[in-house]
Amino acid sequence: MKEELEKRIVKGPDGIEFEVEPLRDYYCEAAPTVMPQAYSKIIEGFFNWARAESLWILGFGTGCGAIEMRPLMTPRFDAYRYGVQWRPTPRQSNLFIISGYLSVKTLKRAIRSYEQMQNPKYVIGLGSCTINGGMYWDSYNTIKCLDDYLPVDLYIAGCMPRPEALLAGFEELKKLIRAGKAEGANQYAENFEWYKANQKKVILDWDMPDYNW
């Protein structure tokens, strides 16, 4: 446990001393719950259509595959045409692209970012590293199968996949969302224990609350 996360006594500006316990006080520890769909099928379908047509990507490049996302903003590929946009904060985005190998250190950040996103949220695994470890299959500090740690909706295979493959992947994801099959956030909530156990197995210096909104 890091020093700044331990329980300690703090002196306020007005001289009163009080106790803070960072993990308790600064984070919300409530586990995620399964969020129900809209009451009516038609409305849910309508929302799903809107969600599919407005994919906001969290700009978080993890591995070398991240370099393939940049061309999507350029005139040549221009993903904005398809309603794909980049958002700088996890709160506002609903698509998380794990772009390539994920070292254990980054996994920690990826989990925190994922948990801060709002339901419904989608995860795309980009490149063979996310599927089976790729060329890092025997590395000591990368994870091998992303699906064990975050609920992945779609994999884009290749090392590395071309931007065209990404565009095709977005279109596939849209089909999934429209069909109501992209319920990763609820899956995560349902199998929360399992995901946490997997995550804790690889992250040895676990120094954050189990769930951080």
Partner 1 sequence: MEFEWIKIPYSLLTLFIVVNYGLLMTAFIAKIAARVGRRHGIPIYQNYIDLIKNYGLRSSITHGVMFYLGPVFRLSGGVGLLLFVPSIYGSEMFSNLSFAGDLILALYFIFFGTLGMALGAAESGSPHSAIGITRGLSQVTAAELPMALAVFSVALQYETLSITEIVAAQQGSVLNWTLFTNPLAVVAAMMAFLGSMMRPPFDVVLAPQEIPIGPPTEYHSSYLALMQTNRVIFPVAKVVIYTNLFFGGATNWPIFFLKVFLIYMVSAFVGVAFPRFRVEQSIRWFLIWAMPLGILAILLV
What does the alpha-carbon distance between residue 72 and residue 78 come to, in Å, rounded to a whole number?
Answer: 5
47 touches partner 1 (CB under 8 A): yes
CB of 159 to ligand SF4, least distance (A): 3
134 touches ligand SF4 (CB under 6 A): yes
Number of H helices, E strands in the chain: 7, 7
194 Cβ neighbours under 8 A, 6+ residues apart: none
Label residues 88-113 b or e (16+ Cβ within 10 Å = b). eebeebbbbbbbbbbbbebbbebbbb
Decide whether 64 or 208 has the Cβ nearer to ligand SF4.
64
106 touches ligand SF4 (CB under 6 A): no
From the list partner 1, ligand SF4, none, pick the one residue 63 interacts with, judged by a Cβ distance below 5 to 8 Å according to partner type. ligand SF4
- Residues of span 105-164 touching partner 1 by CB under 8 A: 118-120
Virtual torsion, Cα 177, 178, 183, 185, nearest 10 deg: 60
Biggest CA–CA distance in the chain, Å, is: 61
Positions touching ligand SF4 (CB under 6 A) are 63-65, 100-101, 127-129, 134-135, 159-160
Positions touching partner 1 (CB under 8 A) are 28, 35-38, 46-47, 50-51, 53-54, 74-75, 78, 80-81, 83, 85, 87-89, 91-92, 94, 118-120, 185, 213
